[in-house]
Amino acid sequence: MILGVFLGTLFAALAIGVPVAFALMLCGVVLMWWMGVFNPQIISQQMVTGANTFTLLAIPFFLLAGELMNAGGLSRRIVDFAVACVGHIKGGLGIVAVIAAVIMASLSGSAAADSAALAAILIPMMRQAGYNVPRAAGLMAAGGVIAPVIPPSIAFIIFGVAANVSITSLFMGGIVPGLMMALALIGAWMLVSRKESVAPLPKRSGRERLIATGRAGWALLMPVIILGGIRFGVFTPTEAAVIAAVYAMFVGMVIYRELKFRDLYGVLLNAAKTTSVVLFLVSAALVTSWLITRANIPAEITRFLDPVIDNPKLLMLVIVLLVLVVGTVLDLAPTILILSPVLMPVVRAAGIDPVYFGIVFVMTTCIGLLTPPVGVVLNVVSGVARVPLGKVIWGVLPFLASQILVLGLLIAFPELVLVPLSVLR
């Protein structure tokens, strides 16, 4: 019964347009009233306690690093580097988009920010070259959702805090699945664009490629520093976020000299706005998470999934289908914060590796960013590229199918995550 109260309150609040954070707080109030323990102080205490976590400091700094990266010219130089390397191949600008998405994903961890940067830089080039623009916009959106999977990932940080799973292990485990997503996108792009009569860009000489690599060198060094430092224990993910922000500021202001002091206010303001939204949502969700545990809702979910709990692959398939449905109406962070505390006890009871589950779970929520009616990344790309949302939705379908195929492979063959993870851990 209490599960029905929780779900009914949550979906009723969302249906009438209550913002997700306030809907989660309302769920907490209703659950407290239903259990007979209503106390407004508990809500404020749990919100403060939930936000007062050292690990969550990584979120504002990675968001700031992404803003600094775009304002300081790092994103553009990464795209120029990719163009110099593969722009001459047939359909090369699409491959450039995916390669740039992977490199940028290893810098910021934000799907919306990466998609916006890719669309702003590459859509005008692809429009001028004669590519199918809605399809190109769909590729930008699909490439952007690699960001929450390849470390450093804000989504992995949120999941690690909510589910009490090692963030460093999540970071290391996300590398191979993220690269698989990229390869699947390149394959899908080559398949759907093969009939387009678009002339490839002129092939760059070795000297021009060397120059492009040199110009992008400082930007390309950033993921090496971040991932290498985390992997070898030089610094924690939170400390890596600070280093990423300082590094991006240094490169943008001192090396590339595109980031001016007058730009810092706007950059800091944008990062602060996004941070406030994310952390308020996290705080509200952790109140609900605490009450979910108190109400023993995970036990009810376990009983519901008991018929498939002895078959881990079937259980993972059921969970992925559930998350895909939820992801059509909820953004990435709310989906993680609402479902992870409920599902983790079931996952542990089934003997599924929590890191493997976290990676598949986050990948599934990323796919939700590409599905209407919410489709946050679709809306971002639509606005930046000035392409109607309906056309972007049609354009993203082949790339959405390729991501779902990768997800199916990871469910069928967990070793694709677990074996590389055992090496990288």
- Residue 263 contacts by C-beta under 8 Å, 6 or more apart in sequence? 71
8 A C-beta contact, residue 111 and residue 145: yes
> What digits encode the pLDDT tens for the residues 102-139?
988 887 667 877 788 888 888 888 888 888 889 999 99
* CA–CA distances in Å: residue 374 to residues 172, 299, 379, 394, 407: 29, 30, 8, 15, 21
Instruction: Return the residue matching tokens 């259980």.
Output: 315
The confidence score (pLDDT) of residue 14 equals: 73
Asked if residue 1 has pLDDT above 70, the reply is no
Lowest-pLDDT range of 260-274, 293-307, 314-328, 380-394: 293-307
- Angstrom distance (rounded) from CA 381 to CA 364: 20
The confidence score (pLDDT) of residue 179 equals: 94
Q: Confidence band (pLDDT; 50, 70, 90) for 298?
A: low
**Domains of the chain, residue spans:** 2-424
- HSE value, Cβ hemisphere, 13 Å, CA-based, for 135: 17
Token code pair at residue 285: 């969700």
Q: DSSP secondary structure string, 287-343?
A: HHHHHHHHTTHHHHHHHHTGGGTT-HHHHHHHHHHHHHHHHTTS-HHHHHHHHHHHH
pTM for this one?
0.84
Q: DSSP secondary structure string, 45-74?
A: HHHHHHH--GGGGHHHHHHHHHHHHHHTTH
In 3D, which of 76, 197, 196, 181 has the Cα closest to residue 139? 181
- In one letter, which amino acid is 106? S
The confidence score (pLDDT) of residue 30 equals: 81
Token code pair at residue 274: 């996004």
> What digits encode the pLDDT tens for the residues 331-367?
788 888 888 888 888 898 888 999 999 999 999 998 8
- Helices 415-424 and 175-192 cross at an angle (nearest 10°) of 130
Lowest-pLDDT range of 106-120, 134-148, 179-193: 106-120
